[in-house]
Amino acid sequence: MKKLIGYLKGYEVESILAPLFKMLEALLDLFVPIVVAKIIDVGIPSGDKAHIIKLVLLMVLLALLGLASSITAQFFAAKASVGFSTALRKRLFCHIENFSCSELDTLGGNTLITRLTSDILQVQTGVNMTLRLLLRSPFIVFGSMIMAFTIDFKLAMIFVVTIPVLSLVVYGIMIISIPLYKKVQASLDSILGKTRENLTGVRVVRAFCKEKQEIEAFDERNDKLTRINEFVGRISALLNPVTFLLINIATIVLIYNGAIRVNVGDVGQGEVVALYNYMAQMIIELVKLSSLIITINRGLACGERVLAVLDIDPGMKYKDGPWVDGVVDSVSGSVCGLHNTDGTDAWFAGEGLSLGLHNTDATDFWIGGDGADSGLHKTSIPAVEFDHVCLTYAHAGAESLSDISFTAYEGETIGVIGGTGSGKSSLVNLIPRFYDATKGSVKVFGRDVKDYPRGDLSKVVSIVLQKAVLFKGSIRANMKMGKEDATDSEIYKALEIAQALDVVKSKGGLDHDINQGGRNLSGGQRQRLTIARALVADPKILIMDDSASALDFATDAALRKAVGKLPMTVFIVSQRASSVMNADKIIVLDDGELKGLGSHDELMKDNEIYREIYYSQFPPERKEGA
């Protein structure tokens, strides 16, 4: 919990003043029974009305001061608790944003949403109640005991016996209930997951008439949550009756012994009334304390859940330092580049042994070092290079990719094809570093993706995922996710290449609002807009991960033709042979293994797997007829 306390930074003054003002209120409350005792024992027997009025006015003043102290304490407690939850929620969200896809896959979205919302709200309530009541209630309880000693030592011993017994009861119930509240929140995660699943897949549920089964499944989880809540509620509910029983027994003993001591003249009637008032104050405060303990227990359980996420160290580490304008800079220092203003890149290789001028036509002319080789050599650094790459997902029993090696050069179009589950998406997800290779290395422009500073790789690589995801807002706002300062002309150019101009025109322009997830668009419209969003970023490497599956063949062909004219390396992942057959290289995957690499014609001659895929879509007789 010490880690959570750190989020009160900036609210130290409020965190101190809130309990202090509550303590002041409690202190004022402790003086009231003494004033009542004076009225009964002094004012009434003497018939001094002026004295009685003064004491009554004193009680009113104490009440007003107590009210002002209570309001002030509430203000400071609310300010501190809301500031605390804001800082914690921001920290948790930022921490989650730093998670790699592996951590997100392991944790799941349901529990993260619960911890960002419900759990932090419970912790906020716990902090508020703690600042207000955690010191006040014990102060009243022990203060009542101390004030009782100022009245009569023997009667005060009743308080001395009662308070430890009550403390044991409270502590015991707290120890039992904290783990149960963790189970309550875990069940809440389960319900949230089921709800999200049904809301997301509502069309599928209705298409198969599974409403009844889904309702039953939801009811089962809801009943489980109810049972756990009822069980922990019964335990927590024991607090009030047990404390009331103990306090009432103590009150009976106090009145019985007080009456005896009044009869013998050891104490006055007003003093017994004062002692009874102190006992009554203890009852009220213990009721508050029982409610506070339930709230704190729930807050502690939720706080531990939040800390459990914060304690997860993001699996991906990033290098520090800038990466200039997409210019290749080898980590080892063997190759470094100087970006010239005339559009050429001057390169120095291997401790100055050779000098190369990188021309805008993508050819590199190198002059040998030390005059050993004065000839001109055409060379190139691969845009993407896989070197014996293997990938095993977290908690997976087997590798998803095994010993993958290939190179892709600038301006090439690379097709990736294979059956379902062959590892196509896994392969391209390694390029933007959604996952880290468990073996081997993935390099982009000669530099290992693990050596790119955070955010720099996204300046080079744009990916269009299988599932087209758009965010609530205008079309323009969605397009600018690729490039914040993109102009309308740049956006329209990308839309034209992505064959999405008609979509924007039919919607009335770039200011058209898109619903969450793009639900007011068709599947094909969403896919074309997500492709345009990737193109707005003007990447050097574009990955299209089965992102045209909802497009008709004519639109798909027009899209590939337009993208093929762009000066970038393009990866096209598809199960359609027609989508990749014109690529410069085609990667054939089967069960995570590289089973073929070459052009369409080469693979048709030598690769059985590729031929099977091709002929399953273009039967030989159809081909001959064409």
DSSP sequence for 158-170: HHHHHHHHHHHHH
| Domain's final residue, options 286, 310, 334 | 310
Same domain, 168 and 19: yes
User: In this predicted structure, what is the pLDDT of residue 540?
Assistant: 92
Same domain, 266 and 404: no
Same domain, 373 and 521: no
User: In this predicted structure, what is the pLDDT of residue 301?
Assistant: 79
Find the mean pLDDT for residues 291-320.
81
Cβ neighbours around 327 below 10 Å, total: 14
| Domain's final residue, options 355, 380, 405 | 380
pTM, two decimal places: 0.67
User: In this predicted structure, what is the pLDDT of residue 320?
Assistant: 66
Same domain, 468 and 490: yes
pLDDT band at 1 (very low <50, low <70, confident <90, very high): low
User: In this predicted structure, what is the pLDDT of residue 46?
Assistant: 72
Q: What is the 3-state secondary structure (H, E, C) of 58-127?
A: HHHHHHHHHHHHHHHHHHHHHHHHHHHHHHHHHHHHHHHHCCCHHHHHHHCHHHHHHHHHHHHHHHHHHH
Same domain, 339 and 416: no
Q: Is the pLDDT of residue 140 over 90?
A: no
d(CA 409, CA 140): 77
Across-strand partners of 345? 339, 358
Amino acid identity, residue 331? V
Same domain, 224 and 353: no
Reported as type and span, the H/E element at residue 610 is helix 608-617
560 close to 480: Cβ distance less than 8 angstroms: no
| 576: phi then psi, degrees, rounded to nearest 5 | -90, 125
d(CA 555, CA 564): 14
| Half-sphere exposure (Cβ direction) of 445: Cα atoms closer than 13 Å | 27
Find the mean pLDDT for residues 146-160.
82
Q: What does DSSP assign to residue 314? A: P
For residue range 309-328, what is the model confidence (pLDDT) as tens digits?
888 888 777 776 554 444 44
**Nearest in space to 31 (alpha carbons), one of 274, 250, 288, 267:** 274
For residue range 57-68, what is the model confidence (pLDDT) as tens digits?
988 898 899 899
**Nearest in space to 122 (alpha carbons), one of 67, 81, 154:** 81
| Domain's final residue, options 260, 285, 310 | 310
Amino acid identity, residue 348? F
For residue 616, the enclosing domain spans: 384-625
Find the mean pLDDT for residues 200-221.
84
Find the mean pLDDT for residues 126-141.
86
Same domain, 84 and 130: yes
State the total domains in the chain.
3
| 86: phi then psi, degrees, rounded to nearest 5 | -65, -45
573 or 148: which carries more pLDDT confidence? 573
| H helical segments located in 264-371 | 269-310
% of the chain exceeding 70 in pLDDT: 89
Same domain, 12 and 158: yes
Same domain, 289 and 143: yes
Find the mean pLDDT for residues 598-615.
91
Contacts of 27 (CB under 8 A, 6+ apart): 139, 143
**Among 49-53, 503-507, 542-546, the least confident range:** 49-53
Cβ neighbours around 477 below 10 Å, total: 15
Same domain, 285 and 320: no
Same domain, 267 and 189: yes
User: In this predicted structure, what is the pLDDT of residue 401?
Assistant: 92
39 or 604: which carries more pLDDT confidence? 604
For the CA atoms of 572, 578, 581, 585, what is the dihedral angle to 10 degrees? Answer: 10
User: In this predicted structure, what is the pLDDT of residue 176?
Assistant: 80
Task: Tell me the average pLDDT of the chain.
Answer: 81
Q: Is the pLDDT of residue 419 over 80?
A: yes
Q: Is the pLDDT of residue 368 over 70?
A: no
495 or 552: which carries more pLDDT confidence? 495
d(CA 501, CA 511): 14
Find the mean pLDDT for residues 15-27.
90
Alpha carbon separation from 600 to 420, 558, 592 (Å, rounded)? 20, 20, 20
Would you list the DSSP string of 503-541? Answer: HHHHTTSTTPEEPGGGTTS-HHHHHHHHHHHHHHT--SE
Q: What is the 3-state secondary structure (H, E, C) of 389-447?
A: EEECCCCCCCCCEEEEEEEECCCCEEEEEECCCCCHHHHHHCCCCCCCCCEEEEEECCE
Amino acid identity, residue 622? R
Q: Is the pLDDT of residue 363 over 60?
A: no
155 close to 275: Cβ distance less than 8 angstroms: yes
Amino acid identity, residue 583? A
Reported as type and span, the H/E element at residue 34 is helix 12-38
d(CA 161, CA 253): 11
CATH number for the domain harbouring residue 98: 1.20.1560.10
For residue range 254-272, what is the model confidence (pLDDT) as tens digits?
888 888 877 777 777 888 8
Alpha carbon separation from 204 to 208, 210, 465, 470 (Å, rounded)? 6, 8, 22, 21
% of the chain exceeding 90 in pLDDT: 26
CATH number for the domain harbouring residue 514: 3.40.50.300
Across-strand partners of 543? 463, 571
The tokens describing 343, both together, are: 């559009």
pLDDT band at 621 (very low <50, low <70, confident <90, very high): low
d(CA 413, CA 417): 13
Q: Is the pLDDT of residue 147 over 50?
A: yes
Q: Is 575 helix (H, G, I), strand (E, B) or coil?
A: coil
Find the mean pLDDT for residues 171-189.
77
User: In this predicted structure, what is the pLDDT of residue 88?
Assistant: 92
Find the mean pLDDT for residues 297-317.
83
**Among 105-119, 279-293, 322-336, 562-576, the least confident range:** 322-336
What does the chain come to in residues?
A: 626
Amino acid identity, residue 183? K
**Among 46-50, 195-199, 216-220, 359-363, the least confident range:** 359-363
102 or 540: which carries more pLDDT confidence? 540
138 close to 292: Cβ distance less than 8 angstroms: no
613 or 482: which carries more pLDDT confidence? 613
Same domain, 18 and 32: yes
Q: Is the pLDDT of residue 389 over 90?
A: yes
The tokens describing 446, both together, are: 């000669």
pLDDT band at 355 (very low <50, low <70, confident <90, very high): very low
